[in-house]
Amino acid sequence: MAAFTVAHVSDPHLPPLPEPRLAELMGKRVFGYLNWTRNRHRYHRREVLDVLMSDLQAQVPDHIAVTGDLVNLALEAEFAPAKAWLESVGPPEKVTVVPGNHDAYVRPTSHRFTEAWQSYLSGDTAPDHGAIFPSLRRRGPLALIGVSTAVPTPPLMATGWLGKGQIEALERLLASLASEAAFRILLIHHPLRSSARAKRLTDAPELLALLKQHGVDLVLHGHDHVHSTIWVEGPNGSPIPAVGVPSASARAHGHYPDAAYNLFSIARDGDGWRCRQMVRGVNEALQVKEIRRVQLL
């Protein structure tokens, strides 16, 4: 059987930022807008995003996963351009999205991403629990499990959480997949572990306990804007790789690297799976080059 390929991008923070109306610059958005105009607009660049996505498309992946933060301040004017960008990436059958904290930046528009991008978020069938997440999409040998950690938070906070209802539904979903011969990928915005209290997943211990009991084969996340791989405990002590990726629109600044994406090649290997990761990223000359290859499983 030929390998199935999954591309992983995250945190495009789609530039440019539309000019907000004065009435929209209230509360947390004031801080976010000042940060964008003073700093973030310099290193989240549309030309970087475009060249990265052009290279990704040239790899012809079987599926593309986008792990959140498509927008910046969740302005009403940001959601339609974000949907247009998603459509340029591919149709909902080929692209799966989970939201990030910037997609639910403030309470008044925290619901808008579900309306604007629903066809990219929702599972193959309507859930029996009445909510979009957790979602389940089957693509080739994969079971793509999407969860949302996107919630509005106070100024200077970028935490996320799943909540009791989503965790309970996720436990039922993972239990139902345990006997299937599917490669299970969990898509989530926040990393499973974080040293930054203001950016952490607050109910990570509950999620880690679920993964230890029921397991998945791979976790893909964003949020940190860096290359990362950690291993978390699965059933019977088996390790699960959790892989992060830099912002898809970023120029290198501070400890943050230039934009990059991951490409995973997944194939059955006897009773188990093989999974190889290739990392491709933008260099100083705005060219996309292979950075490394890693045999994860």
CATH of the domain at 96: 3.60.21.10
- Evaluate whether residue 225 is within a structural domain: yes
- Evaluate whether residue 21 is within a structural domain: no
pLDDT one-digit tens code per residue, 124-145: 987 666 689 999 999 999 999 9
Q: Give the residue numbers spanning the domain of 283.
A: 4-14+26-295
pLDDT one-digit tens code per residue, 73-128: 999 999 999 999 999 999 999 999 999 999 999 999 999 999 999 999 999 987 66
Q: What value does the mean pLDDT take over residues 54-67? A: 98
- Evaluate whether residue 19 is within a structural domain: no
- Evaluate whether residue 187 is within a structural domain: yes
Q: With 0.85 as the threshold, say if the pTM is over it.
A: yes
- Evaluate whether residue 121 is within a structural domain: yes
The reported pLDDT for the residue numbered 198 is: 96
- Evaluate whether residue 235 is within a structural domain: yes
Bridge partners, 217 (sequence order) = none
Residue 187: pLDDT over 80: yes
The reported pLDDT for the residue numbered 1 is: 65
Cα–Cα distance, 281 to 297 (Å, whole number): 22
Residue 149: pLDDT over 70: yes
Which residue pairs, CB below 8 angstroms and at least 24 apart, start in 224-230? 224/191, 224/194, 224/199, 225/11, 225/250, 225/256, 226/255, 226/256, 226/257, 227/257, 227/260, 227/279, 228/191, 229/294, 229/296, 230/191, 230/192, 230/193
pLDDT one-digit tens code per residue, 202-228: 999 999 999 999 999 999 999 999 999
- Evaluate whether residue 20 is within a structural domain: no
Domain count, the chain: 1
Read off the pLDDT band of 68 (50, 70, 90): very high
pLDDT one-digit tens code per residue, 241-254: 999 999 999 999 99
Cα–Cα distance, 221 to 227 (Å, whole number): 10
